[in-house]
Amino acid sequence: ETGVTQSPTHLIKTRGQQVTLRCSSQSGHNTVSWYQQALGQGPQFIFQYYREEENGRGNFPPRFSGLQFPNYSSELNVNALELDDSALYLCASSPGGDGDEQFFGPGTRLTVL
């Protein structure tokens, strides 16, 4: 069974640019959540996708957007990058159903210069 994978592992961008981060969910999982973890903080919920539909969103501006594909993999897109967007971006998948824990990928470290 393959776990959650994310690409790329590291990324450097400049202010104003756009970035796309990718996540492959664990086999059999239909729900994907994205989190932003700033240095010294806990992960903060960005949004969640369930069967290709957005299913909840945290306190992030619209320039953070996402997609989920029929194979349940997902993308996180961030437009007009700001310095404060520098963080570790974590993707987590879950099989769906009440109380299921989320399984996290290793994350993508984004640096905005």
Partner 1 sequence: DQQVKQNSPSLSVQEGRISILNCDYTNSMFDYFLWYKKYPAEGPTFLISISSIKDKNEDGRFTVFLNKSAKHLSLHIVPSQPGDSAVYFCAASGFPGTYKYIFGTGTRLKVLA
The footprint of partner 1 (CB under 8 A) covers: 4, 31, 33, 35, 40-45, 48, 55-56, 58, 90, 92, 94, 99-107
User: Which residue, 17 or 41, is less far from partner 1 as judged by CB?
Assistant: 41
Smallest distance, partner 1 to C-beta of residue 43, A: 5
User: Which residue, 14 or 75, is less far from partner 1 as judged by CB?
Assistant: 75
The secondary structure of 61-112 as a DSSP string is -TTEEEEE-TTS-EEEEE-S--GGG-EEEEEEEE--STTPPPEE---EEEEE
User: Which residue, 16 or 47, is less far from partner 1 as judged by CB?
Assistant: 47
